[in-house]
Structure 1
Amino acid sequence: MHVCYTYIYYTLLTSLPTYFATILNFNLQQNGFIFALPYFVQFLTTIIVGQIVDRLRARKTFSITTLRKTQTIIGTVGTCGFLVAIGYMGCNQFRAVLCCILAVGFLGLQTCGAIISHLDIASNYAGTLVGITNTLATIPGFVGPYVVGAITKNNQTIEAWRLIFNISAGIGAFGSLAYCILFNGEEQRWNRIEHENDTNGPTNT
């Protein structure tokens, strides 16, 4: 899930400026705020949804497994749906930018959900687990841009970018499906640290 999430994240982060400039004809030097807006919305979504989920968890309204899977499903449907939609917006700046904002915004549900599942299953080893998964999750940081470059080389067309967005949506959907099938949010037994009791009583002097 982490790898699939970062594929979408890195692909959009590195490629949206090119898409905005070549397909939507934006001057990024004059419209830098427009490029930053999707990530600002993701920031807000992560904080707001994270607070809501924490409150539901504290009240024990739903299990952590249910909450994380629900976040993942909603985030995936939103992100992947709007990624596919971007490819059919043509050169309409308003609609395309709106779809970009919503696609990245829905990623926020996974940022405060599946991506922090390490804390749910093994809080004592969360740092180690994040190190392992994040190492693998950096691979899309160069794979995604390479795929974009291969598809758009001498081919800066709406059809080429539609394929890029569809590939990203497919990878994201696959990762979320695997997560929802395999994830169990209960604390793992190996997370519990056993403390040896001091059997040697106090020494009399």
Structure 2
Amino acid sequence: MASVTELKPTADNSKFSQDKQTEKKLRKVPILCSTRYGMAFIIHLCNFIWRAQGVIMNITMVTMVNNTGHRPHFNGSAKRLPVDSLDGLNNTLKSLPMRVSVYDWSPQIQGILFASINYGMILTLAPSGYLAGRIGTKKVVAFSLFGSSLLTLFTPLAADLGLVFLITTRVVQGISQGSAVGGQFALWEKWGPPHERSRLCTIALSGMPLGTSIAILLGGVISQALGWPFVFYIFGGVGCVCCILWLVFVYDEPESHPWISTIEKEYIISSVTQQVSSSKPSLPVKAILRSLPFWSMCLCGFCHQWFTNTITAYTPTYISSIFNVNIRDNGFLSALPFFAAWIIGVLGGQLADFLLTKNFRLVTVRKLVTVLGILPPSAFLVSMPYITSNYITTMTLLTIAGGLCPFCQAGIYINALDIAPRYSSFLTGASRGFAQVAAILSPTVCGFLLSQDPVYGWRNVFLLAFAINISGLLFYLIFGKADVQDWAKERQLTRL
């Protein structure tokens, strides 16, 4: 007769002492020279590239259209930026290189274009996480990065061929990028010691806001100097080069890495094998669908994605419509929130792991950093339409609102590694796929609101983002967990 026995990790003193000795030996190796942190920086670069490729249209849109559309009228008149920074859109268009195509797209069409890349991402986020767990992250991410880079190079031609071609290109690019996002988390099942996962994951994920920052910053400069098509050519070419680096330096597990030290390899293997089985477990689909901690991740991620995607997609358009800056200065100003997000994204992981060393409960740490990434940014963003008379205050609040968002990277976005380490790649992909629906709906709804209400459009956009973001936070604070769930624990059959 067979019965199911739950496997529990041993906690004998000899094993604990051995792990401590291994950790002390490992501390002699500088962090920046360790292989696992090298892997984190390579994934950081990969995230930088694909994110930049996905958002460059947000800044080029200012010069791709002959009218950025909605220009609100507030009760107070906005103070203009310093004279050197203000050429106006008309002067901007005149200074652009000749033979650059300009299109007549309404705000609704612009919203659809912003969202179209996310149409494809929701199709591959969950499957790619599962596939990466089966065949390896190296193959999945390499294929997706190369595909995204080729489609980025093709985007200017697609725009000239017509709106249908451009939207189709963006959708297929989203399918490719979704594989990179969902697939990369399978790597940390075998490379990330539990007490270092916050730092490793946030170093990797912080490439996304940096990619957004650099893409918007350089996108404005390149658009003014060479024309908006060269923004796509340059970032597409860099992505192809990055794909080669990925294939050379990334390996799916420490055992197969040719340059890792023996001490570090043994340390990583001994750390992760306590949580992750070497077998290929079947997915407990019914248990996952009934899990409130899993749904709290999904819903909070959905609400946070709505908020962050609103900032990402509409920051250049908002700055252009409020302050009438040229494309170059728009790029500099629009990049500030995302540059701040890059710095805070790395610090968020350091803060989370520091709190864990001070004996904070893991669930407390996850919820605390999630609150920091949602509550203050929401409050700052919703207050912006009421203070447009002062551009310094507006840009300060916008920078803080965008900068604090990555605290959630050390919270809800890696929570799957806590509640179900054995299925973390699939759960992370599934939760991000669910959240990606917000990235589709947000630009579409925002474009509609901006078109329908020429006076209070931006106020309505920010109020909606505030309400959605706070509701997701409350749900996560109530139902979020950070302990391994019963359905995610390894079990074996024993004979009685």
TM-score between both structures, scaled by the size of structure 1: 0.88
1:109 aligns to 2:407 (yes or no)? yes
1:86 matched to which residue of 2? 384
**Shift in CA distance, 105/19, structure 1 to aligned 2, threshold 3 Å:** same
1:121 matched to which residue of 2? 419
For residues 36-84 of structure 1, give each alpha carbon's deviation from its aligned partner in whole angstroms, at most 9, with x where no partner exists.
1111111111111211211221x25210111111112232221111011
- Please give the secondary structure, in 2, of the residue aligned with 1:87: helix
1:15 aligns to 2:314 (yes or no)? yes
Aligned length: 196
- What is the RMSD computed on CA atoms of the aligned residues? 1.8
1:203 matched to which residue of 2? none
Which of 156, 162, 168 is matched with 2:459 structurally? 162
Which of 447, 462, 465 is matched with 1:149 structurally? 447
- Please give the secondary structure, in 2, of the residue aligned with 1:185: coil
**Structure 2: runs of 5+ lacking an equivalent:** 1-299
TM-score between both structures, scaled by the size of structure 2: 0.38
8 A Cα contact 1:42 1:106, kept in partner: yes
**Shift in CA distance, 60/122, structure 1 to aligned 2, threshold 3 Å:** farther
Distance in 1 between the 2:372 and 2:313 partners?
24
**Structure 1: runs of 5+ lacking an equivalent:** 200-205
8 A Cα contact 1:22 1:156, kept in partner: no
**Shift in CA distance, 190/154, structure 1 to aligned 2, threshold 3 Å:** closer
Distance in 2 between the 1:167 and 1:176 partners?
15
Distance in 1 between the 2:433 and 2:371 partners?
24
Distance in 1 between the 2:324 and 2:391 partners?
8
Q: CA deviation at 1:154?
A: 6.3
1:181 aligns to 2:483 (yes or no)? no
8 A Cα contact 1:23 1:91, kept in partner: no
**Shift in CA distance, 91/22, structure 1 to aligned 2, threshold 3 Å:** farther
1:37 aligns to 2:336 (yes or no)? yes
Distance in 1 between the 2:332 and 2:369 partners?
28
Which of 54, 57, 78 is matched with 2:353 structurally? 54
Distance in 2 between the 1:130 and 1:83 partners?
27
Work out which of the two has the higher radius of gyration on C-alpha atoms and give 1 or 2. Answer: 2
1:202 matched to which residue of 2? none
Letter of the 1:67 partner, please give it: V
Q: CA deviation at 1:195?
A: 5.3
- Please give the secondary structure, in 1, of the residue aligned with 2:490: coil
1:74 aligns to 2:343 (yes or no)? no
**Shift in CA distance, 168/112, structure 1 to aligned 2, threshold 3 Å:** same
Distance in 2 between the 1:24 and 1:89 partners?
13
For residues 144-176 of structure 1, give each alpha carbon's deviation from its aligned partner in whole angstroms, at most 9, with x where no partner exists.
11111111116444x221111111011000000
Letter of the 1:24 partner, please give it: F
Distance in 1 between the 2:353 and 2:431 partners?
23
2:303 matched to which residue of 1? 4
Distance in 2 between the 1:3 and 1:154 partners?
25
2:82 matched to which residue of 1? none
1:131 aligns to 2:429 (yes or no)? yes
- Taking only the aligned residue pairs, the percentage that are identical comes to 29
8 A Cα contact 1:24 1:91, kept in partner: no
Which of 325, 332, 338 is matched with 1:26 structurally? 325
**Shift in CA distance, 105/12, structure 1 to aligned 2, threshold 3 Å:** same
Distance in 1 between the 2:359 and 2:432 partners?
31
8 A Cα contact 1:28 1:35, kept in partner: no
Distance in 2 between the 1:80 and 1:148 partners?
16
**Shift in CA distance, 56/154, structure 1 to aligned 2, threshold 3 Å:** closer
Distance in 2 between the 1:191 and 1:36 partners?
41
For residues 154-204 of structure 1, give each alpha carbon's deviation from its aligned partner in whole angstroms, at most 9, with x where no partner exists.
6444x221111111011000000000000111111222223568x9xxxxx
8 A Cα contact 1:84 1:166, kept in partner: yes
Higher RCO (CA-CA < 8 Å; seq separation 6+): 1
Distance in 2 between the 1:187 and 1:96 partners?
43
For residues 84-120 of structure 1, give each alpha carbon's deviation from its aligned partner in whole angstroms, at most 9, with x where no partner exists.
1112112422111111111111111112212211111
8 A Cα contact 2:370 2:410, kept in partner: no
- Please give the secondary structure, in 2, of the residue aligned with 1:170: helix
- Please give the secondary structure, in 2, of the residue aligned with 1:153: helix
Letter of the 1:96 partner, please give it: T
